[in-house]
Structure 1
Amino acid sequence: MLDPFIYLVSGVLKLWHLLLNSVLGLDDSTAWVLALIGLVVTVRGLIAPFSWMQMRTARTSVIMRPELAALNAEYADRTDKESVAEHERRRKELSRRYNHRPAAGCVPMLIQIPVFIGLYRTVLQMARPSENLEVAPDTRIGFLNAEEITAFLNAEIRGIPLPAYLSMPQEMLAQLGTTRDEVRGFILPIVILAVIFTTANLAGSIYRNLETLDWESSLARGTQKMLIGMTVLVPFLLLSLTFFGPIPVAIVLYWFANNLWTLVQTALIRVVVSRKMPLDDDYRREHRATREKVRGELRERRTQKWDVRRRQAAGAVQPWKIPEIRRELQAERVQQREKTAAEKARRKEIARAKQEARSQLTKERLEANRRKRQEKKARSSNQPAEPAASDEPDRGPSATD
């Protein structure tokens, strides 16, 4: 399942190594280290245009959000076929006017995750081609042959082998010509810097999201909370993987370079997007108003929950009031359930009616396209065929015959 990713990463590494070692004449160790940096340059260079599109698309969706919200509110309760068709048409016009392409935001992640998976599997197999670090003549990892794998096993940076990692058995580290203390002393500052870059990237995402968060979306609020949690947990997770997991020095170097590139690239794109597509004062006012409205609703819900808990606690102090408190709470629950069920049924009915209208519109479009094809076919079949060059009328015998 992971073979395509391994072939992709190993192919890029091999091309960079051949360029640096065979063409430019660098030694194997330097060539392999720079090949890892070349992999970062290749991958990030490929997805840089998509990263720009991703941030531009996100900013576009933020700028058009007030108009889209007003449009959706205008057609929220209109379920007739004409209104549904007009709503779809106006939404498409709005997207075209802002040149909004939401699918572009998924491309960087779709490229970067497979590459990192392929890199991890490739480097891990290169670091441990066998139990005793011996490379058989017929060993292959993706596009890399046994000779190139052996060269990678012997590659070093400042005396530390690229395939070494902290949880590697001491005997294997000795075979590579190093010790756990030497590996730890080399990768510790690099890992700390990589963690700082990663945390800075996550913190920047949190700040950008707060500036443009859709407060009325519970999914957006939940995603923001998850991102804050990740900012706290990810550094500990990465440090744990480095010290206790099979994370070779080569992957640590790639991780360091990749996160540094991401931090700089994101900052530059952020500056350009903010200048080209600034958020105006009207948006900021509406954003603050929506935030305060949602926060007020959330505070009201918390107040109601604490009121229920307060009355339940009062029943423990005044047991004779427990039946009355239970009746009150039960009545409030029933009333709230009925209200929620009625609102849910209303929304469900509106959604069902709109879906039926969309189905009718789709059938009408298909029928119209079918009629057009039939009319086009009928017109083409009714056109008289042009006479060929050999189909000239017989003019009888010539004068010379």
Structure 2
Amino acid sequence: MLEPFIYPVSGVLKLWHILMRSVFGMDDSAAWLISIFGLVLTVRLLLIPLFWAQAKSARIGVAMRPEQAALKEEYATRTDRESVAEFERKSKDLRESYGYKVSAGCLPTLIQIPVFLGLYQVLLRMARPSTGLEVAPETRIGLLNADEIQAFLRSSVNGIPLPAYVAMPEEMLSQLGTTSADVRSFILPFLIGAVVFTTGNMIASITRNAKTMDWDSGAARAVNRFLILMTVLIPILLVTLALNGPLPVAIILYWFANNLWTLVQTLILYPLVYRKVPLHESFEEFSRERRAVALATDREKRMRKWDVRRRKAVGALKPWRIPEIRRDLNAEKAARQAAAAAAKAERKALSKERRAASSALQKERLAKRRAERAARKQAKSSSPQAEPTASGAPDPGRSAEG
């Protein structure tokens, strides 16, 4: 699946190695080390336009959120064809006024993810080939041949081989001419740097989310809570994998360079995006209102849970009241479920009516376009065609003049 991306990524790595060896005369070890950083630099530079488009699209989506929410609220219960057509037209006008395109936010992400995976896979396969430290002649990783892979496996930085890792068996480490302690001492500064940069990137994401949170979306709030949890867990996971897993020195160096680039890119490009697409005061007011509603809803849920716990505690102290408490709790739960089911059924009915009206409009527009194409085709076929004059026939205009 990743092969289409592994080929160009391996090609970039190969070009960097050729450049370092042939132009600058570096030895294999230095050439491969620079090539790793050069690969990250090249790929990330090429992805900057996609990152910019994605960040700008997301920012525009945030900026237009108050008007979009007001529009949805205005047409929430209107499902007739005229209202649906008017809602679609106003939504389109709103997107055009902001220059917003849905594809600008989706496509860059869909392209970047496999590119990053391809980049990681190339380095991982180079540093941990499936055939071991001795590479078979037919082995290839994208555009890299067996000799280049073998040269990469023999490369080292400050005496530490690029394919070595802390948890590697001692006999393999001895073949590479190093020890587990030496590998650990070498990677620790880069590992700590990678963890710091990763944590900084995640804190920056949480900060952005806190300022532009879609408080009406339960999924958005859940994602933000998940990011907060990951900010604690991912550094622990990275350190554990680096010290106890089969992660070569080359991958640690890649983590360091890639996360450093991401942090610098975030600190530079996001302020530029914010300056280009500023948020109006109406957004701040809208965000505060939606946040207050969301927090009030969460507070109500917590109070309900504590009330249930309190009454259960009363039942534990007064067992004779357990049937009464259980009956009251079941009645309240049934009432909440009935209200939620009624609200859900109403939303579902409105959505069904709206989809039906939208489908009818789409069919009407499609029929209209087909009729217009048929009319143009008929007009073209019925228009008189000028017959070409034979090359040997005399020109009537010239004959008259003669």
Give the TM-score range, shorter chain: over 0.9
Structure 1 residues 1-400: aligned runs within 5 Å: 1-129=1-129, 133-390=133-390
Letter in 2 for 1:388: P
- Partner Cα distance (2:132, 2:310) in 1: 67
Q: CA deviation at 1:44?
A: 0.8
Gapped regions of structure 1 (runs ≥ 5): none
TM-score between the two structures when normalised by the length of structure 1? 0.93
Letter in 2 for 1:390: A
Give per-residue Cα distances to partners, 1:116-135, cap 9 Å, x unaligned: 43344333333344655223
Q: In structure 2, do the counterparts of structure 1 residues 101 and 12 end up closer, same or farther at CA, with 3 Å as the change threshold?
A: same
CA contact (8 A) 1:84 1:354 kept: yes
| SS in structure 2 at match of 1:44 | helix
| SS in structure 2 at match of 1:279 | coil
| Greater mean deviation of Cα atoms: 345-354 or 98-107 | 98-107
Q: In structure 2, do the counterparts of structure 1 residues 298 and 138 end up closer, same or farther at CA, with 3 Å as the change threshold?
A: closer
Letter in 2 for 1:11: G
CA contact (8 A) 2:17 2:31 kept: yes
Letter in 1 for 2:79: T
Q: Percent identity?
A: 55
- Partner Cα distance (1:36, 1:286) in 2: 46
CA contact (8 A) 2:53 2:104 kept: yes
Letter in 1 for 2:376: K
- Partner Cα distance (2:132, 2:232) in 1: 39
| Greater mean deviation of Cα atoms: 326-335 or 300-309 | 326-335
Pairwise CA RMSD: 2.0
Letter in 1 for 2:124: L
- Partner Cα distance (2:325, 2:285) in 1: 43
- Partner Cα distance (2:110, 2:190) in 1: 27
CA contact (8 A) 2:153 2:162 kept: yes
Aligned length: 396
Q: CA deviation at 1:256?
A: 0.6
Q: In structure 2, do the counterparts of structure 1 residues 243 and 107 end up closer, same or farther at CA, with 3 Å as the change threshold?
A: farther
Q: In structure 2, do the counterparts of structure 1 residues 329 and 218 end up closer, same or farther at CA, with 3 Å as the change threshold?
A: same
Q: CA deviation at 1:329?
A: 1.9
Q: CA deviation at 1:151?
A: 1.5
Letter in 1 for 2:336: Q
- Partner Cα distance (2:202, 2:395) in 1: 86
CA contact (8 A) 1:17 1:31 kept: yes
Gapped regions of structure 2 (runs ≥ 5): none
Letter in 2 for 1:142: G
- Partner Cα distance (1:8, 1:166) in 2: 30
| Greater mean deviation of Cα atoms: 118-127 or 164-173 | 118-127
CA contact (8 A) 1:123 1:163 kept: no
Give per-residue Cα distances to partners, 1:179-218, cap 9 Å, x unaligned: 1111110001100110000000000000010001011111
CA contact (8 A) 2:53 2:108 kept: no
Give per-residue Cα distances to partners, 1:18-49, cap 9 Å, x unaligned: 12212332221111111111111111111111
Q: CA deviation at 1:393?
A: 9.0
CA contact (8 A) 1:28 1:151 kept: yes
Q: CA deviation at 1:148?
A: 1.1
CA contact (8 A) 1:132 1:172 kept: no
CA contact (8 A) 2:54 2:109 kept: no
- Partner Cα distance (2:9, 2:29) in 1: 18
Give per-residue Cα distances to partners, 1:56-85, cap 9 Å, x unaligned: 112211111111010000000000001101
- Partner Cα distance (1:108, 1:200) in 2: 23
Letter in 1 for 2:341: A
Q: In structure 2, do the counterparts of structure 1 residues 138 and 335 end up closer, same or farther at CA, with 3 Å as the change threshold?
A: closer
Letter in 1 for 2:274: S
Give per-residue Cα distances to partners, 1:261-314, cap 9 Å, x unaligned: 110111111221232333333322221222122111210121112112211221
| SS in structure 1 at match of 2:45 | helix
Q: In structure 2, do the counterparts of structure 1 residues 106 and 239 end up closer, same or farther at CA, with 3 Å as the change threshold?
A: farther
Q: CA deviation at 1:104?
A: 2.4
CA contact (8 A) 1:85 1:361 kept: yes
- Partner Cα distance (2:394, 2:349) in 1: 72
CA contact (8 A) 1:161 1:249 kept: yes
Letter in 2 for 1:363: K
- Partner Cα distance (1:124, 1:298) in 2: 45
Q: In structure 2, do the counterparts of structure 1 residues 286 and 127 end up closer, same or farther at CA, with 3 Å as the change threshold?
A: closer
CA contact (8 A) 1:123 1:248 kept: no
Give per-residue Cα distances to partners, 1:338-363, cap 9 Å, x unaligned: 21111111111100100110110111
